[in-house]
Amino acid sequence: MNPGLQPQSQDLHAILERFLESPHPSVPASVLDFVADALATRRLGLPPSIFREAVDQASVAISIADTRGMILYTNAAFTRVSGYAEDEVLGRNESMLSSKRTPSLVYKTLWGRLKQGQSWSGLLLNARKSGELYLAEVTIAPVRSADTLYYLAMHRDVTEVHRLQQRVANQKGLIESVVDASPVAKALLASDGKVVLDNHAYKKLVGDMRVREPARVFLDLLSETSGWDFQRMRESGEGFEHREIAFDPGNGRPLRWFTLTGTWVEEADLEPAHFFDPARHTYLLLVANEITILKRQHEAVATNALRAMLAEDERVQSIHETLEAAIYQLQGPLNLMAAATAVLGRREAGEVDVAALRQALDQALGAGHEALATLQASMPRIPPEAEAIYNLNELLREVLAVSTQRLLATGITVDWCPAPVLPALVGRGKRLRGLFKHLIDNAIDAMAGSGTRELRISTGMEAERIRVTVEDTGSGVPQALRLRVFEPFFTTRSRDRRSGMGLAMVQEVVNEHRGTVAIDPDHVGGCRVHVVLPIRG
């Protein structure tokens, strides 16, 4: 040992005092507690040798180095951890402990923080004197004593802790993989009945059953069918096996059948307060196996015989009812036509009966209205869309993304000029997307035969309204047609193409949002459409 290289006891005391006076947030609490305990020996007026002995006997490896990293002091724990005796490390650089396998970025970060006057804490892969690698949890802090700057380093071997953590993590991952791979739904319920752990099959069941917590539904059905009580059975530790329950999804969907198995499991409490007084938590492991297909197969076998017996009768009855309905449907128009023909015949013979003719025609008209109403009732209903908050720039980007393939195929250049900031718009997203998609499709069609093909879309603000402009370099819309294009089934396309609703849908959506849509009459060289929507439609 070279006494000339190490600080005296008074210097060591001063260094630790300075370290404790201005601790850094990254320094572990255990290190601070140790330093405080060591300094307490000095504050009690004990001899310096007692203070040095307290530091030397610490379980944490301590070393003090100068600004070049040259070691000036080590304690006994340093020797136990590294394998190097004190006289083998004094005057040598701290890098002698490096295994050369710690990423260089870690060391760059370490020295960067020290040069900024900040402490550093982290993990380093070090090597003992024997060459054995170990994982060190290191804390290094710059400490100034008088006019001299020292680096105080404390580290401990956490190799076994790391191995234990990795072993627990590996086992946890393996167990979770096995449980998740199981095709049977599994859920772990706490003592209050809440699910604290589940597997993929259970998560899939949540979506399929469209209920918030299938486990609670299963236990409620089990209670209804067999009187099983969750809390009472938890106290007694009694489980159940292969209990069959039927779940009715409602809304006309078929029944689903499950077999349930429940087992109580216990877990030790992790809190330190229960170290000498162990406490345990009880959980219910619920396993749900769906047997709907098997159940339906059994039911099918039982009903096949009856179905065969009734099949012939049902076939004959079905044919009879179909023919009878067809005859009834045809008879009405035929009777009306016959009555009208008879009235006209009498009129030709001089027997004028205008009232009878009107009645026959009214009945024919009523039959026509009834047929029309039947067709209208057969049309699919579009469910109403709820209003929500949208960013119109994002909504337009989505529409452009959908149209990208068609824009590229037709060689159209897009000039997208959104306003940097737009307020949120309250509206119906699906309808708005359809509106702008229709405008973009119309612009693409209009530029089909143009030499220059450019589509420009911009957004902006007008008072409390958002303006969207869609401009193309197509053939444009004649002045006389700028109002008619918003009529249903009116189109400027060739007759060999489907006309559809034209811009009537655009007008309808704009009206729903209390906005306006118009074709710019002053624009030349194509068509420019302005859509103005209030922030709250």
174 within some domain: no
Phi, psi of 439 (to 5 degrees): -65, -40
Where in the sequence is the domain holding 340, given as residue range(s)?
Answer: 302-376
173 within some domain: no
Same domain? For 499 and 468 the reply is: yes
Same domain? For 81 and 136 the reply is: yes
Task: Name the nearest CA neighbour of 455 among 348, 529, 351.
Answer: 529
CA 181 to chain centre: 22
Tell me the per-residue pLDDT of 428-471, one tens digit each, with 9 for 90 and over: 888 888 888 888 988 898 888 778 899 999 999 988 899 999 99
Between residues 360 and 72, which one has the greater pLDDT? 72
Task: Name the nearest CA neighbour of 79 among 22, 34, 134, 128.
Answer: 128
Cα–Cα dist 322/371, whole Å: 19
Same domain? For 407 and 447 the reply is: yes
Q: Mention every residue, 6+ apart, whose C-beta is less than 8 A from residue 180.
A: 199, 200, 201
Side chain identity, residue 289: N
Same domain? For 498 and 394 the reply is: yes
Task: Name the nearest CA neighbour of 120 among 79, 147, 154.
Answer: 154
The per-residue b/e assignment along 397-413, b for 16 or more CB within 10 angstroms, e otherwise, is eebbeebeeebeeeebe
Same domain? For 267 and 327 the reply is: no
- Residue 337's pLDDT is 54
CATH number, domain of 213, equals: 3.30.450
Same domain? For 262 and 316 the reply is: no
pTM of the complete model beyond 0.85: no
Domain count within the chain: 4
* Average confidence score pLDDT of the chain: 77
Last residue of a domain, which of 234, 259, 290?
290
Last residue of a domain, which of 290, 320, 353?
290
What percent of the chain stands above pLDDT 90?
Answer: 22
496 within some domain: yes
Handedness of CA 341, 342, 343, 345 (dihedral sign): positive
Span 234-255, average pLDDT: 83
Between residues 277 and 516, which one has the greater pLDDT? 516
Tell me the per-residue pLDDT of 19-32, one tens digit each, with 9 for 90 and over: 555 555 555 555 55
Same domain? For 268 and 310 the reply is: no
CATH number, domain of 119, equals: 3.30.450.20
- Residue 342's pLDDT is 61
Span 353-369, average pLDDT: 58
